[in-house]
Amino acid sequence: MDKQQVLKEYFGYDSFKPGQEALIDSLLSGRDTLGVMPTGAGKSVCFQVPALMFQGVTLVISPLISLMQDQVTALVSLGIRAAYINSALNQQQVYAVIRNAAQGMYRIIYVAPERLDTALFLELCSKIRVSALIVDEAHCISHWGHDFRPSYLAIPDFIRKLPSRPVVGAFTATATKAVRNDIVRLLEMNYPFELVTGFDRKNLYFEVRKPEDRLADLTGLVHRYCDAGRSGIVYAATRKEVEDITAHLKKEGFAAARYHAGLTDEERRINQEDFIYDRIQVIVATNAFGMGIDKSNVSFVIHHNMPRDMESYYQEAGRAGRDGSPSDCILLFAPRDIHLQRYLIQQSYEQSELPDNEAAAVRKREEKKLSDMINYCTRDACLRGMMLSYFGERYYGSCKNCSFCRQGMVLTDVTVDVQKIMSCIHRVGKGADRAAITAVLQGSQDERIQELGLDALSTFGIMQDRDKKYIDACIEHIMASGMAAADSEGVLHLTRRALPVLKGEERVSARVPDIKGAGSNDEDIDTGLMEKLREVRRTQARVHGMPDYVILSDSALVQLCKAAPTTEKQFMRVEGMTRIKYERYGIAFIKAVKDYKKADKPSAAKEKKIPASKDPQVRARAFEIMKELSLSDFEGFDEKLSLSKLIQKLTHDRDLPKGGTLVIRREVSGRLVAHGALARVENEGHTVTVPGEKAAEYGISLIRTAGEDGSEFEMTAYDSTAQEWIVHRIMGEIQEI
Ligand code: ADP
Ligand code: MG
């Protein structure tokens, strides 16, 4: 098999990602190889494909037990013979692995660096043929890196003890020159082939927010993500903050857990596993969390505080979206973060054991890094551009996927709109300033416009569909490029330069607010089917005792959903599917697709939005919980709440199943409709519930509220009267039946 076939056959991918092929070729040719690629770029495949093509065994040195376990589980699930040796195994198990290895059972063995100089392991390596030695997370060998591991320094010694020198490969996501040099020097690599691939991760959306109340903002964000079934990481600066945030999120009803260095090993392990196996949706952590995490379906990373430097930030944020799905990296910034970081730098300076001048140099370097980080948080510019240029990459234009570019300007062909504006300036003639021109274009009902008779012009209202900011930006561009000028009174008039554009001989491009309302990331997929496939994945994960994403990554699940295969052939054509995957889980997925297609469409369509709540077991459990609620404990919440929020508050310490809130909500709103407090109306083919004729009496009203992205939406709000009503009357009614 050649590398292409190996990639397809074992890993199910049709093509290599950027950089993979060159690195694979280099290893296959026997040349030492250093690959520097950002997290999620697919470094493992770079050494796993050659491992399946080499004669002997490939040893992979990896710093963390959990990393090894993850990778080996993934390999075994792909039908590749692999094992690991580390302190997670007892002596018996180690012997078993060694025995099997000596008999040539494995293609890939992951090993902890501490194992390399044990007699048992050295003996094994003298018996088997080690074709390649791969150092994963190779930055751990460097003092400059952020995760220095002294045991990595023993690797070259180990290599020398082998009967023949294997090809040496090193992989890392840390790009700085100092670290790269250290890796090559300390691993004693032979004229290695070095490849550094682009650091841009296009699927990551970056945003910096400066909320007044960070905890409230964070809660809102977490709500939004978790309600959509997404899971993620919240990073906080201190253990105390981790504790506080976790407690708060739990109180709000989220499945959250904490992670920091002050916990017992046991609790850390459990919480991490719960996160990996999707038993909890959010993990709140200090920067102690992450290196061992190969979870590919982390779909948001929120930093509650500004991290100390861009390297840390990019590494931590980069844990989102490793499977290539659109994912969000949000940083909540407050100026007091700066003081904390300065304080920490000062502390480590004062406690440094380095000679004075070196300690001062370190401090200076850290201060510089901090100021770059502050710059990222405070400057108005494309965030991705700033980040990439920090890592030494040139980046031009608007990325369209950061908070600046999404709200900001996009280079657009504005010829037609510029023509409209200029012809308006021309028609209005003397006496109109920018504001008046804009008002005419937008068809404003302003009295001044009517008094001047400008509403009779043919250009009146021709840009009704454009917002003011957009028109402003166009006018700005017209003036900046000299096609129009303003006199001392601010009155606009065209210049000769306007002619070629008005005649249609020249086109105009300008940076203007994105008229298309820059892209939502949500793919257009059948959410009902998606939900079914997710269920199958979950069952299969349980059956095989593996995390969900090892069965299929989220992006593979999306592909599967889009393709909706009903035959083996169709299944195999989906990106990411392999023979082994077909044999193990294919039948189950195909059956789910068939069942879904068979189910009569109207009900399938309805199920799209509310799948779990239709499950009879969920319904039964939700009703049980409703009946068990001790309503006499309710003392009222004084703010205005949505109905779901109220239900969550009431049931927060109960084990409400997924979809349960919806079951209760429907039951409650059904009764409110019967009381005339709510009404059902048809809207674009959907039935929606709105305040009814008696809404005011019940304390129910429609309010406008701002979503976390600043967009406004309408919400039916329940004030304390309404909450009383619902709890004591409506819920009471339900409890009685
Ligand atoms: P890294 O170690 O560089 O952070 P991984 O090796 O863990 O990244 O790979 C990240 C994800 O990319 C994994 O889900 C992996 O299966 C996927 N992947 C790797 N190579 C390819 C490829 N050629 N095509 C599609 N997906 C790939
Ligand atoms: Mg990796």
Instruction: Match 């959306």 to its residue by tokens.
Output: 205
pLDDT at 511: 66
pTM assigned to the model: 0.52
Confidence of residue 397 (pLDDT cuts 50, 70, 90): low
Kindly give the distance from the C-alpha atom of residue 337 to the centroid of ligand 1, in angstroms, as a whole number.
34
Who wins on pLDDT, 298 or 445?
298
- Residue nearest ligand 1's atom 5 by CA: 42
Confidence of residue 626 (pLDDT cuts 50, 70, 90): confident
Largest CA distance in the chain: 97
Kindly give the distance from the C-alpha atom of residue 250 to the centroid of ligand 2, in angstroms, as a whole number.
31
Ligand 1, closest atom to CA 43?
3
Average pLDDT (445-462) is 84
Ligand 1, closest atom to CA 575?
25
pLDDT at 421: 94
Ligand 1, closest atom to CA 38?
3
Pick the closest to residue 358 from 194, 534, 531, 143 (CA basis). 143
pLDDT-wise least confident of 8-17, 338-347, 607-616, 629-638: 607-616
Which ligand places an atom closest to the C-alpha of 67?
2
Give the separation between CA 66 and CA 119, rounded to whole angstroms: 24
- Residue nearest ligand 1's atom 24 by CA: 13
Kindly give the distance from the C-alpha atom of residue 564 to the centroid of ligand 1, in angstroms, as a whole number.
23
Which ligand places an atom closest to the C-alpha of 578?
1
Ligand 1, closest atom to CA 17?
23
Give the separation between CA 118 and CA 132, rounded to whole angstroms: 19
Average pLDDT (572-586) is 85
Which ligand places an atom closest to the C-alpha of 4?
1
pLDDT at 716: 84
pLDDT tens-digit profile of 693-730?
A: 888 888 898 887 776 555 566 778 888 888 988 888 88
pLDDT at 523: 45
Give the separation between CA 171 and CA 187, rounded to whole angstroms: 12
Kindly give the distance from the C-alpha atom of residue 263 to the centroid of ligand 2, in angstroms, as a whole number.
26
- Residue nearest ligand 1's atom 17 by CA: 42
Ligand 1, closest atom to CA 16?
23
Which residues does ligand 1 sit against, CB inside 6 Å?
A: 13, 16-17, 20, 37, 39-45, 294, 296, 322-323, 553
pLDDT tens-digit profile of 413-433?
A: 788 899 999 999 988 877 788
On the CB side of 461, CA atoms within 13 Å amount to 8
CATH 1.10.10.10 given to domain 411-513: yes
Instruction: Match 């068979």 to its residue by tokens.
Output: 598
Question: Which percentage of the chain shows pLDDT scores above 90?
Answer: 38
Ligand 1, closest atom to CA 11?
16
Residues 6+ positions from 239 with CB-CB distance below 8 Å: 260, 261, 262, 286
Average pLDDT (494-520) is 73
Give the separation between CA 51 and CA 108, rounded to whole angstroms: 7
Average pLDDT (251-272) is 94
pLDDT at 190: 93
Kindly give the distance from the C-alpha atom of residue 221 to the centroid of ligand 2, in angstroms, as a whole number.
28
Which ligand places an atom closest to the C-alpha of 41?
1
Q: What 8-state DSSP symbol labels residue 545? A: T
Contacts 24+ apart (CB under 8 A), 639-648: 640/701, 640/703, 640/717, 640/718, 640/719, 641/717, 641/718, 641/723, 642/715, 642/716, 642/717, 642/718, 643/668, 643/669, 643/716, 643/718, 643/726, 646/718, 646/723, 646/726, 648/252, 648/253
Which of 24, 44, 67 should be mutated for ligand 1, with most atoms under 8 A from CB?
44
Range list of H helices, 301-446? 310-317, 336-350, 356-378, 383-390, 403-407, 415-428, 434-442
Kindly give the distance from the C-alpha atom of residue 76 to the centroid of ligand 2, in angstroms, as a whole number.
17
Is the predicted pLDDT of residue 607 greater than 80, yes or no?
no
* Phi and psi at residue 299, to the nearest 5°: -110, 0
Ligand 1, closest atom to CA 39?
4
Kindly give the distance from the C-alpha atom of residue 322 to the centroid of ligand 2, in angstroms, as a whole number.
10
- Residue nearest ligand 1's atom 26 by CA: 13
Which ligand places an atom closest to the C-alpha of 63?
2
pLDDT tens-digit profile of 292-318?
A: 677 888 999 999 999 998 888 998 999
Kindly give the distance from the C-alpha atom of residue 136 to the centroid of ligand 2, in angstroms, as a whole number.
7
pLDDT at 352: 82
Question: Which percentage of the chain shows pLDDT scores above 70?
Answer: 92
Kindly give the distance from the C-alpha atom of residue 217 to the centroid of ligand 2, in angstroms, as a whole number.
32
Kindly give the distance from the C-alpha atom of residue 91 to the centroid of ligand 2, in angstroms, as a whole number.
27
Kindly give the distance from the C-alpha atom of residue 192 to the centroid of ligand 1, in angstroms, as a whole number.
23
* Phi and psi at residue 714, to the nearest 5°: -95, 140
pLDDT tens-digit profile of 168-206?
A: 999 998 767 778 899 999 999 999 999 988 788 888 989
Is the predicted pLDDT of residue 233 greater than 70, yes or no?
yes
- The CATH code of domain 204-406 reads 3.40.50.300
Confidence of residue 522 (pLDDT cuts 50, 70, 90): very low
Ligand 1, closest atom to CA 74?
16
Is the predicted pLDDT of residue 518 greater than 70, yes or no?
no
pLDDT at 543: 82
Query: Which of 275-284, 382-391, 437-446, 591-600 ranks highest by mean pLDDT?
Result: 275-284
Does 3-196 match 527-598 in CATH topology? no
Tokens at residue 616, please?
Answer: 């009879």
Query: Which of 150-159, 403-412, 516-525, 680-689 ranks highest by mean pLDDT?
Result: 150-159
Kindly give the distance from the C-alpha atom of residue 40 to the centroid of ligand 2, in angstroms, as a whole number.
7
Ligand 1, closest atom to CA 37?
3
Kindly give the distance from the C-alpha atom of residue 522 to the centroid of ligand 1, in angstroms, as a whole number.
22
- Residue nearest ligand 1's atom 12 by CA: 42
- The CATH code of domain 3-196 reads 3.40.50.300
pLDDT at 424: 92
3-state SS of 155-216 is: HHHHHHHCCCCCEEEEEECCCCHHHHHHHHHHCCCCCCEEEECCCCCCCEEEEEECCCCHHH
Instruction: Match 């789910």 to its residue by tokens.
Output: 592
Kindly give the distance from the C-alpha atom of residue 42 to the centroid of ligand 1, in angstroms, as a whole number.
3
Which ligand places an atom closest to the C-alpha of 64?
2
Kindly give the distance from the C-alpha atom of residue 11 to the centroid of ligand 1, in angstroms, as a whole number.
10
Which ligand places an atom closest to the C-alpha of 203?
1
Is the predicted pLDDT of residue 609 greater than 70, yes or no?
no
Is the predicted pLDDT of residue 22 greater than 70, yes or no?
yes
pLDDT-wise least confident of 118-122, 332-336, 348-352: 348-352
Tokens at residue 268, please?
Answer: 């850390």
Is the predicted pLDDT of residue 610 greater than 50, yes or no?
no
Give the separation between CA 242 and CA 304, rounded to whole angstroms: 9
- How many residues are recorded in the chain? 737
Residues 6+ positions from 213 with CB-CB distance below 8 Å: none
pLDDT tens-digit profile of 647-692?
A: 888 887 778 888 888 888 888 888 898 888 888 876 655 677 788 8
Which ligand places an atom closest to the C-alpha of 318?
1
Kindly give the distance from the C-alpha atom of residue 283 to the centroid of ligand 2, in angstroms, as a whole number.
21
> Would you list the domain boundaries of the chain?
3-196, 204-406, 411-513, 527-598, 612-735
User: Measuring CA to CA, how many Å separate 440 from each of 458, 486, 513?
Assistant: 10, 17, 20
pLDDT tens-digit profile of 216-229?
A: 999 989 988 888 78
Is the predicted pLDDT of residue 515 greater than 70, yes or no?
no
pLDDT tens-digit profile of 48-104?
A: 999 999 999 999 999 988 889 989 999 999 999 999 999 989 999 999 999 999 999
Confidence of residue 605 (pLDDT cuts 50, 70, 90): very low
Kindly give the distance from the C-alpha atom of residue 328 to the centroid of ligand 1, in angstroms, as a whole number.
19
Tokens at residue 585, please?
Answer: 């889980």
Q: Name the class of domain 527-598.
A: mainly alpha
Tell me the three state secondary structure of residue 339.
helix
Which ligand places an atom closest to the C-alpha of 24?
1
Ligand 1, closest atom to CA 44?
6
Average pLDDT (105-113) is 95
- Residue nearest ligand 1's atom 20 by CA: 42
Which of 45, 46, 294 should be mutated for ligand 1, with most atoms under 8 A from CB?
45
- Residue nearest ligand 1's atom 9 by CA: 42
Contacts 24+ apart (CB under 8 A), 212-220: 214/304, 214/332, 214/334, 215/244, 215/245, 215/248, 217/332, 217/708, 218/245, 218/302, 218/304, 218/332, 219/248, 219/249, 219/252, 220/708
Which of 11, 171, 299, 327 should be mutated for ligand 1, with most atoms under 8 A from CB?
11
- Residue nearest ligand 1's atom 2 by CA: 43
- Residue nearest ligand 1's atom 14 by CA: 323
Pick the closest to residue 510 from 421, 394, 443, 378 (CA basis). 421
- Residue nearest ligand 1's atom 25 by CA: 13
Confidence of residue 272 (pLDDT cuts 50, 70, 90): very high
Average pLDDT (497-513) is 82
pLDDT at 482: 80
Kindly give the distance from the C-alpha atom of residue 94 to the centroid of ligand 1, in angstroms, as a whole number.
29
What is the DSSP pairing of strand 492-494 with strand 484-486?
antiparallel
Which ligand places an atom closest to the C-alpha of 62?
2
